[in-house]
Amino acid sequence: MEQAGPLGTHGSAGTQAPDIRAGSVRVPPQPRAADVDRERLTAARGAAGDGTGSDASAGTDIGVRGEHTHSEVSIPAPRALGERPVVQRASVRGQILDALRTALVAGELAPGEVYSAPALADRFGVSATPVREAMQQLVQEGAVEVAPNRGFRIIERGARELAELAEVRALIEVPVMLRLARTVPAARWAELRPLAEETVRAASSGCRATYAESDRAFHRALLTLAGNSQLVQIADDLHRRAQWPLVGAPASRGRADLVADAAEHTALLEALIAQDLPVVQSLVGEHFAGAC
């Protein structure tokens, strides 16, 4: 039987997925997921009146949800993270979800690879339950899919899907931006300068995950001026999906690409402040064309 790689993947022999460095998550010791699920299963059977209290099928139930563990090895602790703060249990799921999203954008969760909840849980120092819940959220978002009896497979995406996302985003955001360019006072646009400057700083760092977050924050702030929360939510979801890496592509865009993208934010904001509609339309169109 093949041994899992450093991240607990179940891929081809000799294949190793890159280490996840989306850390800063540390919680008090918690029971192993298998123990928790076994206790829940026993309690459920007792409540159903089967009178056996047996947990013979617990392994099957767990495997279906992506918790196949017998061939996995321990995952190394994050490199150079230093002291990690203790967090409240109620916030664990959210922090794990953020960490997984960061790892996904950074290319540390490789497209096509399978990761199990217990292996990732060992990596983060938590039980498998919050990891499984976070992964199920990523399933809903279309980032991963369930691999029965193995774990969760990262979706493989091609250039066509990225182009389709860019087209949909343009259909939603370009008309809104042009309408806002005609109605929002220059002073309101000027208030967004710090966010545009933050994208430039994030791009200069060369970190795709850092830039991705600042990029979405800038676009959210622009669209928020439309006063339509549903629009903002839908556009942000599309934007997040457009940031996932492509199969067979480099793990991240180069620093020069990020800097050029951030420069478009600054130019767009200046055009909005000047209420130069032709320039706004041209810049917005080019920005989404570049996303392809």
DSSP class per residue in 230-246: HHHHHHHHHHHHHTSPP
- In this predicted structure, the answer to whether residue 50 has a pLDDT above a threshold of 50 is no
What is the set of domains in the chain, with CATH numbers? 33-154 (1.10.10.10), 159-290 (1.20.120.530)
The H or E element containing residue 151 is strand 151-154
Counts of helices then strands in the chain (DSSP H, E): 12, 3
Mean pLDDT of all residues in 218-234: 96
pTM for the whole thing? 0.66
Q: Identify the band that residue 237 occupies on the pLDDT scale cut at 50, 70 and 90.
A: very high
Tell me how far apart the alpha carbons of residues 128 and 131 are, in angstroms, rounded to a whole number.
5
Going by C-beta distance under 8 Å and a sequence separation of 6 or more, which residues neighbour residue 19? 6, 7, 76, 78, 79, 108
Angle between helices 193-205 and 255-274 (to 10 degrees): 170
pLDDT tens track for 240-249:
999 887 766 5
Written as one letter, the residue type at 12 is S
Q: Is 97 helix (H, G, I), strand (E, B) or coil?
A: helix
Going by C-beta distance under 8 Å and a sequence separation of 6 or more, which residues neighbour residue 93? 130, 133, 134
Would you give the distance in Å from CA 139 to the centre of its chain?
11
Q: What percentage of the chain exceeds 70 in pLDDT?
A: 66
Q: Which residues pair with 153 in a beta bridge?
A: 114, 145
